[in-house]
């Protein structure tokens, strides 16, 4: 998939946990919007705004997911999966912070690199990591 | 019917409204009362008829022709069990359909004792069903306009959402409110108002497609579902048509009346496909349309909305964090590596997030940069830092603490007053150890205000540093006006200076500027001993970074300070700064190191072969310098010519390595790679030794 193609939400992305899915849709929308914007304007200001929105939304969304993990005892569930999940969240934030550091020093990340990273991260994270969490929560909720 | 032995019973049956039938086991009528014949349209009588003749005119519940096997009598004949409350329709002579409820069950007939038969009854329930339908209609439709009401709208929305997800088409969910309805109602009365609503409903139905929905939600509020859209543009066209249609003037009881519509729209996909949420979002957008001047539509932007929600959430969380003590200061030492002495600490804020753990400032400070909470946070940092200064002094450490102040805080009207107030409560020796770091780019935003603040607080003894220096566009004039005591070189330049001659040039330039303007210079983000030595050689003595110490929580500061010892390797550095000629040598060393790093990366990741640096000796920067400037200057020296030989050898080995890799000879490649590493190490160390020797002579 090239960076310029928008991600289209489909049922295969659904984790089955409404609050997570709702935020994922927004993330996908944000990514697509960034794609449209960067095609027209890949300036420093544009990149700064986009990365700031990403930081903000990531913090918000990761909190939602990690709160659910704590609530349902994900760390006591599948071994290492919870740790791997958290690690991916941290890596995402670290990468965005690094991109912003680069912007500060005048190294502008190319739109293709940024969108490629976001696309890959989002799709992989949702399809693999988040779906495992989703299944875990759905099972726990079913029992309760 | 005279044969009927129960004559009285039969005469009773003659007059009942319900149809009563007795069938033999072949399915033929033994007896039917007059009501039966009327109901089934066999006025001439129906005895002896087979049930399939009777069923022939019947329709099932949905109005389709009835399969005779579904006729209740037929079912009892097959199963032997009663068949109860089957709804049937029978068209009457006037074309109206009548509804019946039919029951049938097996019985023992008195006519032929011992012989089984089937008894059935048909009850006309048309009025009941009609009333039920009317109630249902009332529950789902608005009485005044006959448009679907909210209940049915929700139902239709479910279908429309499913359809949009199936086809991938867009669905627009709209809320519409009439502008100027109330004045009409007030001036001309309710009847006129009702008339207007009916007219609007009619116009809506005129302009939308048959499969779309217009619903009345209440008062003068309508909702629209527009499906099958291929683009937002198509939706806009449809909305313009609706606006135009509503805005056409009309006459009510001879009075000219003119209203318009304000429409809020949200689109799926894009927004969350949840009915309640979509209506809320459309409603929100409708208010935006009203505020923007009416007779228009406004598109809801789910990203903005969600982002605003996320941002507000984070701002609130940080306010709470500040109140509940989730924010902590960590301190990172600044060390003068030439003297081996700790000169200060930089206070860095960390967020001990209850869910996400410890978060670095880069992850959350940018999000509140323009919010008021950053001002309170900044004040908190200053107070904490001053308290820590007091503790340090008590413990006998005479070092400074620097705090980061955001541009917003710095330029805010009452920062001045607040800082004066905070400092007035502190003894002079604390104030003198406080350093305020302002990001260079922020200082340039309003250089007049910043420079006057700097001057005023310097008079009180507070020091200032320009942070992230090199990332802004300071001119020499700016630097002259900003009387900051120190420049802090941004860590991105330090990080790459050993590999990137451009970054090295910036570092050198900032050091030169600092020296020319007699400011202190501090390198940030120092990670390796090589960087430390290079900075010392360039003349930057004070540094901070992971290569010296990571930021640490307050309780670890005093033990760290007590245990601090100079790294003996720091003494390897030169005692004086490089001359121009030495700098050339330094630049070549760095440039070559950079070339070799790229080469090694390309070998380790052969799939990225496009990134291989040029192996050609003649086009190499070091080779060119060696052959020209270098040879003119040092050509007579044998140790210099040795550098040339080693350099040539490194290039030859690099080319041999590439060839063996291309041939797939892995063993040879490994051997060549080892030889290359050895040769390169020799070259780098000769370069270094030559430079050190030159500098001590110069």
A8 touches chain B (CB under 8 A): yes
Quick one: pLDDT at residue B427? 93
Q: What is the pLDDT of residue B391?
A: 95
**Does residue B362 belong to the interface with chain A, where contact is any CB pair within 8 Å?**
yes
CB contact, 8 Å: B370 with chain A?
no
Q: Is A57 on the interface with B (CB under 8 A)?
A: yes
pLDDT at res. B225: 96
Task: State both tokens at B609.
Answer: 């072969």
Write out pLDDT tens, residues A126-139: 989 999 999 999 99
B355/A107 CB distance under 8 A: no
Residues A139-144 have a mean pLDDT of 79
Complete edge-to-edge strand list for the sheet that includes strand B97-108: B29-32, B19-23, B116-124, B97-108, B83-91
**Cβ-based contacts of B492 with chain A (< 8 Å):** 101-102, 104-105, 107
User: What is the mean predicted confidence (pLDDT) over B137-148?
Assistant: 88
**Residue B215: DSSP 8-state:** E
Q: How far is B472 from chain A (nearest CA, A)?
A: 8
Nearest-Cα distance to chain A for B583, in Å, is 24
Statement: residue B616 has pLDDT above 90: no
What is the predicted pLDDT for the residue at B500? 79
pLDDT for residue B431 is more than 70: yes
Residue B179 pLDDT grade (very low, low, confident, very high; cuts 50, 70, 90): very high
Cα dihedral sign for B379, B384, B388, B391?
Answer: positive
Say what the alpha-carbon torsion angle B448, B452, B453, B457 is, to the nearest 10 degrees.
160
Nearest to B490 among A30, A57, A105 (CB): A105
Q: Which residue in A has a C-alpha nearest to residue B356's C-alpha?
A: A63
Q: What angle do CA B611, A37, A97 make, to 5 degrees?
A: 60
Given an 8 Å threshold on Cβ–Cβ distance, is A57 in contact with B313?
Answer: no
Q: Is the dihedral of CA B475, B478, B483, B489 positive or negative?
A: negative
CB-based contact A101 B471, cutoff 8 Å: no
* DSSP per-residue letters across A69-132: HHHTTGGGSSTTHHHHHHHHHHHHHHHHHHHHHHHHTT-PPPHHHHHHHHHHHHHHIIIIIIHH
Model pLDDT, residue B5? 55
Considering CB atoms only, which of B168, B310, B490 is closest to A56? B310
Q: A33: which chain B residues are within 8 Å (Cβ-Cβ)?
A: 303
pLDDT of A2 over the 50 cut: no
Q: What is the DSSP letter of B84?
A: E
Say yes or no: A41 contacts chain B, CB-CB below 8 A: no
What pLDDT, on the 0 to 100 scale, is given for residue A1?
40
pLDDT reported for residue A61: 92
pLDDT, tens digit (0-9, with 9 covering 90-100), for B40-90: 888 888 888 899 988 888 998 888 888 888 899 999 999 889 999 999 999
B204-233 average pLDDT score? 92
* Distance (Å, whole) CA A125 – CA A129: 5
A12 has a chain B CB within 8 A of its CB? no
Q: What is the ipTM of this complex?
A: 0.84
Note the pLDDT of residue B313: 83
- pLDDT over 50 (residue B572): yes
CB contact under 8 A, A97 and B360: yes
More confidently predicted of B264 and B469? B264
* Most confidently modeled range among B108-117, B570-579, B582-591: B582-591
DSSP strands (E only) in B112-210: 116-124, 170-179
Determine whether the interchain pair B490/A70 forms a contact, defined as Cβ–Cβ distance below 8 Å: no
Decide if A39 contacts A111 (C-beta within 8 A): yes
More confident of the two residues B225 and B585: B225
Q: CB–CB of B362 and A102 under 8 A?
A: no
Q: What is the Cα–Cα distance from A122 to B482, expressed in whole angstroms?
A: 45
> Which pLDDT does position B111 carry in this prediction?
61
Say what the pLDDT of residue A31 is.
Answer: 87
Print burial letters for B646-657: b (CB count within 10 Å at least 16), e (below 16).
Answer: bbbbbbbbbebb
User: Closest to B468 (Cβ–Cβ): which among A29, A52, A104?
Assistant: A104
CA distance A143 to chain B (A): 25
**Residue B368 pLDDT greater than 50, yes or no:** yes
pLDDT at position A11, please?
Answer: 80
Of A53, A61, A102, the CB nearest to B492: A102
**CA gap B656, B672 in Å, rounded:** 7
- Min Cα separation A99/chain B (Å): 11
Q: Report whether B19 contacts B54 (CB < 8 A).
A: no
Q: Average pLDDT, stretch B470-482?
A: 81
Helices B638-663 & B580-604 angle (0-180, nearest 10) = 20
- pLDDT tens digits for range B384-422: 999 999 999 999 999 999 999 876 777 776 778 888 999
Indicate yes or no: CB of A55 within 8 angstroms of CB of B366.
Answer: yes
Query: Mean pLDDT across chain A, nearest whole number?
Result: 87
From the list B272, B303, B367, the residue facing A55 with the nearest CB is B367
Contact list, A26 vs chain B (CB under 8 Å): 272, 302-303, 306-307
What is the reported pLDDT for B560? 96
Nearest CB to A9: which of B269, B311, B492? B269
- Residue B101 touches chain A, beta carbons under 8 Å: no
Say how far apart CA A111 and CA A113 lie, in whole Å. Answer: 5
pTM of the model: 0.62
* Both tokens assigned to A133: 């969490």
Q: Which whole number is the average pLDDT over B317-326? A: 93
Chain B residues within 8 A of A30 when measuring between CB atoms: 303, 307
Return d(Cα B658, Cα A128) in angstroms, integer: 39
Among B residues 637-656, those touching chain A with beta carbons less than 8 Å apart: none
A117 touches chain B (CB under 8 A): no
Tokens of B228: 């099958």
The overall average pLDDT reported for chain B is 87
Q: Which of B445, B425, B528, B435 is nearest to B487 (CA)?
A: B435
Shortest CA distance from B493: residue in chain A = A105
What is the tens place of the pLDDT at every residue in A31-86?
Answer: 888 888 888 888 888 999 899 888 888 888 999 999 999 999 998 888 789 999 99
Confidence of residue B477 (pLDDT cuts 50, 70, 90): confident
Question: What contacts B73, CB < 8 A, 6 or more positions away?
Answer: B21, B23, B27, B51, B54, B104, B118, B120
pLDDT confidence band for A3 (50 / 70 / 90): very low
Q: Which of B108, B112, B92 is nearest to B100 (CA)?
A: B92
Instruction: For residue A93, list chain B residues with Cβ-Cβ distance below 8 A.
Output: 359, 363
Residue B608 in this model has a pLDDT that exceeds 80: no
Q: Do A55 and B470 touch (CB under 8 A)?
A: no
Pairing of strands B486-489, B463-469: parallel
Residue of A7, A17, A29 to mutate when probing chain B, most B C-beta within 10 A? A29
Please indicate whether, in this complex, the C-beta atoms of A52 and B302 are within 8 angstroms of each other: no
């Amino acid at each position: 998939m090239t960076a310029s193609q928008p991600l289209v939400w489909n049922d295969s992305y659904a984790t089955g946990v409404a609050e997570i899915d709702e935020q994922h849709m927004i993330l996908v929308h944000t990514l697509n919007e960034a794609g449209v914007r960067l095609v027209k304007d890949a300036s420093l200001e544009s990149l700064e705004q986009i990365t700031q929105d990403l930081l903000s939304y990531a913090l918000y969304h990761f909190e939602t997911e990690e709160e659910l993990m704590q609530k349902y005892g994900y760390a006591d569930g599948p071994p290492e999966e919870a740790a791997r999940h958290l690690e991916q969240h941290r890596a995402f934030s670290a990468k965005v912070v690094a991109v912003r550091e680069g912007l500060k020093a005048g190294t502008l990340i190319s739109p293709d690199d940024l969108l490629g990273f976001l696309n890959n991260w989002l799709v992989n994270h949702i399809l693999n990591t988040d779906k495992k969490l989703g299944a875990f929560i759905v099972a726990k909720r079913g029992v309760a | 019917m005279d044969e009927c032995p129960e004559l009285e019973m039969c005469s009773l049956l003659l007059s009942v409204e319900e149809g009563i039938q007795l069938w033999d086991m072949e399915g033929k009528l033994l007896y039917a009362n007059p009501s039966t014949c009327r109901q089934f349209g066999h006025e001439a009588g129906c005895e002896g008829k087979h049930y399939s003749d009777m069923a022939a005119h019947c329709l099932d519940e949905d109005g389709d022709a009835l399969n005779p096997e579904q006729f209740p009598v037929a079912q009892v004949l097959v199963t032997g069990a009663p068949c109860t409350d089957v709804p049937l329709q029978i068209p009457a002579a006037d074309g109206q359909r009548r509804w019946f409820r039919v029951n049938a069950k097996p019985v023992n007939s008195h006519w032929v004792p011992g012989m089984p038969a089937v008894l059935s009854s048909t009850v006309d329930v048309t009025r009941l069903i009609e009333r039920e339908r009317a109630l249902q209609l009332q529950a789902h439709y608005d009485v005044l306009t006959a448009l679907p009401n909210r209940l049915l709208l929700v139902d239709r929305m479910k279908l429309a959402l499913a359809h949009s997800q199936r086809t991938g088409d867009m669905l627009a969910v709209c809320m519409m409110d009439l502008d100027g309805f109330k004045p009409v109602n007030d001036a001309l009365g309710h009847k006129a108002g009702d008339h207007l609503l009916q007219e609007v409903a009619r116009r809506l139905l005129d302009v939308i497609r048959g499969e779309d929905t217009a619903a009345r939600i209440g008062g003068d509020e309508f909702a629209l579902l527009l499906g099958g859209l291929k683009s937002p543009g198509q939706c806009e066209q449809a909305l313009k048509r609706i606006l135009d249609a509503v805005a056409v003037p009309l006459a009510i009881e001879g009075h000219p009346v003119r209203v318009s519509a304000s429409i809020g729209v949200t689109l799926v996909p894009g927004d969350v496909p949840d009915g309640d949420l979509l209506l809320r979002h459309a409603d929100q957008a409708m208010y935006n349309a009203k505020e923007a001047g009416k007779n228009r539509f406004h598109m809801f932007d789910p990203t903005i909305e969600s982002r605003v929600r996320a941002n507000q959430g984070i701002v609130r969380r940080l306010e709470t964090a500040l109140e509940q003590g989730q924010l902590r200061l960590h301190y990172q030492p600044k060390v003068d590596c030439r003297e081996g002495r700790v000169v200060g600490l930089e206070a860095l804020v960390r967020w001990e997030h209850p869910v996400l753990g410890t978060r670095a400032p880069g992850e959350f400070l940018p999000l509140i940069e323009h919010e008021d909470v950053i001002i309170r946070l900044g004040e908190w940092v200053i107070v904490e830092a001053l308290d820590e200064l007091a503790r340090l002094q008590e413990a006998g450490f005479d070092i400074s603490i620097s705090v980061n102040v955001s541009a917003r805080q710095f330029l805010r009207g009452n920062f001045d007053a607040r800082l004066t107030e905070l400092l007035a409560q502190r003894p002079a020796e604390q104030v003198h150890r406080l350093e305020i770091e302002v990001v260079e780019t922020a200082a340039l935003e309003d250089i007049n205000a910043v420079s006057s603040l700097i001057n005023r607080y310097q008079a009180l003894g507070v020091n200032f540093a320009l942070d992230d220096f090199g990332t802004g566009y300071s001119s020499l004039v700016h630097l002259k006006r900003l009387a900051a005591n120190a420049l802090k070189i941004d860590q991105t330049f330090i990080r790459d200076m050993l590999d990137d001659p451009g970054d090295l040039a910036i570092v050198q330039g900032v050091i030169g500027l600092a020296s020319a303007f007699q400011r202190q210079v501090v390198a940030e983000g120092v990670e390796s001993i090589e960087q430390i030595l290079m900075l010392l050689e360039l003349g930057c003595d004070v540094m901070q970074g992971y290569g010296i110490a990571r930021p640490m929580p307050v309780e670890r500061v005093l033990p760290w300070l007590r245990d601090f010892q100079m790294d003996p390797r720091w003494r390897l550095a030169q005692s004086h700064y490089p001359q121009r000629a030495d700098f050339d040598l330094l630049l070549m060393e760095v440039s070559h190191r950079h070339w070799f790093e790229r080469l090694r990366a390309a070998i380790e990741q052969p799939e990225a072969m496009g990134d291989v640096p040029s192996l050609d000796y003649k086009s190499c920067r070091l080779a060119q310098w060696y052959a020209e400037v270098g040879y003119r200057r040092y050509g007579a020296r044998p140790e210099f010519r040795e550098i040339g030989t080693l350099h040539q050898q490194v290039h030859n080995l690099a080319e041999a390595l590439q060839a063996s890799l291309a041939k797939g000879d892995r063993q040879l490649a490994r051997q060549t790679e080892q030889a290359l590493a050895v040769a390169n190490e020799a070259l780098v160390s000769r370069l270094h030794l030559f430079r050190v020797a030159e500098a001590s002579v110069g």
